[in-house]
């Protein structure tokens, strides 16, 4: 395992990971904890407050906060729904009173993994898709990010050096020439990249940076369950002789843990020249080549680079 920063690199800095319950959000929060940050972990699935989630799953933000603390940071769980402006406004007021500012804001909210459907439902034309589900995807993917930025960015620009990260799927370059699953999914992921561009324009005068980051093929909790494996034996999903379980495509060998994209974000956060990334759209693999960090198993996967080279 290689980290180009020390375990106290973000000590004293306050980060908010919006959508930290599982997947990339949990991995990002964990990586920030590795670097000593205080991490506010928000989401809807909580052990202390009942909020309606689009997933029927057991992971909680309290578990994420505990993981952050166990890794050397300080994890704080705050359950809320980022589609409810008053709840996000209350979060901002709480953070203002408690810390007076935030240094890092990660907009990782998604929640539409079930709504987008599985491979058999992909490539279905918009006139055959359920309108209510499609509009829900857009609300979860875009409205949540804008509402969060509306109330939390004033805390980020209160002093120079703030970092806003918009987490999406696919870089601007890749998505510009590739249809992504459906009209709704495609629009959602392109829009989040554009959010980093437009917000970066607005943040620059305050010495802050906005960047869009995409993980590669991520071994989230849901992905591992889909293939009937765990993080400890994930390569078994590539075994074509395995019976009774879905077999992963060969490219799954280049998959990554959720921590990998988190380390990408930490690398930018500790970079004194982070403003060079302002308005950019980058991937975890690309940033690993620039900064030299690895995934938790010591590898440096780059599925986006692999896919681009395969098409040439």
Q: Which CATH number covers residue 208?
A: 3.40.50.720
- Say if CB 210 and CB 200 are below 8 A apart: yes
Q: Is residue 240 part of a domain?
A: no
Predicted local distance difference test score (pLDDT) of residue 2: 65
Structural domain boundaries, residue 285: 14-218+257-302
- Give the span between the Cα atoms of 105 and 120, in whole angstroms: 35
The pLDDT of 123-132, averaged and rounded, is 96
Q: Is residue 312 part of a domain?
A: no
Q: Is residue 4 part of a domain?
A: no
- Give the span between the Cα atoms of 306 and 284, in whole angstroms: 13
Signed CA dihedral, 192, 197, 198, 202: sign only? positive
Predicted local distance difference test score (pLDDT) of residue 244: 82
Nearest to 146 by CA among 160, 164, 161, 132: 164
pLDDT one-digit tens code per residue, 223-251: 999 999 999 999 999 999 888 888 999 99
The pLDDT of 207-230, averaged and rounded, is 96
DSSP annotation of 17 reads E
Q: Which residue has the tokens 């319950």?
A: 21
With both helix axes pointing from N to C terminus, report the angle between 303-310 and 284-291 in degrees, rounded to the nearest 10: 110
Q: Is residue 296 part of a domain?
A: yes
Tally of domains in the chain: 1
Q: Is residue 243 part of a domain?
A: no
> Environment class of residue 20 by beta-carbon count within 10 Å: exposed (0-12), middle (13-18) or buried (19+)?
buried
pLDDT of 193 higher than 60: yes
In what helix (H) or strand (E) does residue 242 lie, and over which residues does it extend? none
- Residue 259, both tokens: 């921590």
Predicted local distance difference test score (pLDDT) of residue 290: 97
Signed CA dihedral, 189, 282, 103, 28: sign only? positive
Q: Which residue has the tokens 């459907």?
A: 117
Q: Is residue 63 part of a domain?
A: yes
Nearest to 272 by CA among 214, 200, 207: 207
- Residue 12, both tokens: 């004293």
pTM: 0.96
Predicted local distance difference test score (pLDDT) of residue 1: 57
3-class secondary-structure state, position 140 = helix
3-class secondary-structure state, position 41 = strand
Report the DSSP beta bridge partners of residue 253.
none
Sheet holding 281-283, edge to edge: 74-79, 38-43, 14-18, 104-107, 163-167, 209-214, 281-283
HSE value, Cβ hemisphere, 13 Å, CA-based, for 62: 7
3-class secondary-structure state, position 59 = coil
- Residue 254, both tokens: 């280049």
Pick from 121-135, 213-227, 239-253, 293-307: least confident: 239-253
End-to-end C-alpha distance for the chain, whole angstroms: 32
- Give the span between the Cα atoms of 246 and 226, in whole angstroms: 7
Predicted local distance difference test score (pLDDT) of residue 237: 95
Q: Is residue 186 part of a domain?
A: yes
Mean pLDDT across the chain: 96
pLDDT of 295 higher than 60: yes
Predicted local distance difference test score (pLDDT) of residue 4: 75
Q: Is residue 283 part of a domain?
A: yes
């Amino acid at each position: 395992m290689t980290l180009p920063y020390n375990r106290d690199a973000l000590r004293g800095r306050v980060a908010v990971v919006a959508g930290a319950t599982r997947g990339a959000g949990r991995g990002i929060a964990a990586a920030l904890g590795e670097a000593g940050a205080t991490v506010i972990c928000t989401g809807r699935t909580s052990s202390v407050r009942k909020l309606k989630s689009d997933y029927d799953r057991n992971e909680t933000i309290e578990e994420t906060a505990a993981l952050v603390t166990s890794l050397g940071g300080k994890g704080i769980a705050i359950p809320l729904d980022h589609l409810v402006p008053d709840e996000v406004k209350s979060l901002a007021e709480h953070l203002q009173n408690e810390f007076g500012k935030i240094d890092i804001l990660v907009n990782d909210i998604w929640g539409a993994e079930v709504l987008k459907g599985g491979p058999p439902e992909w490539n279905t034309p918009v006139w055959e898709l359920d309108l209510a589900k499609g509009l829900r995807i857009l609300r979860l993917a875009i409205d949540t990010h804008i509402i969060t930025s509306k109330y939390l960015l004033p805390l980020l620009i209160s002093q120079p050096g703030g970092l806003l990260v918009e987490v999406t799927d696919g870089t601007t370059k890749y998505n510009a020439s590739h249809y992504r699953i459906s009209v709704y999914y495609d629009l959602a992921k392109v829009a989040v990249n554009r959010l980093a561009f437009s917000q970066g324009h607005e943040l620059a005068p305050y010495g802050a940076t906005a960047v869009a980051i995409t993980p590669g093929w991520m071994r989230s909790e849901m992905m591992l369950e889909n293939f009937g494996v765990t993080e400890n034996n994930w390569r078994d999903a590539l075994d074509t002789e395995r019976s009774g379980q879905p077999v992963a495509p060969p490219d799954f060998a280049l998959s990554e843990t959720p921590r990998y994209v988190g380390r990408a974000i930490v690398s930018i956060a500790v970079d004194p020249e982070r403003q060079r990334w302002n308005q950019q759209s980058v991937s975890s693999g690309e940033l690993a080549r620039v900064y030299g960090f690895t995934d938790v198993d010591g590898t440096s996967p780059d599925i986006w680079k692999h896919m681009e080279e395969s098409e040439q």
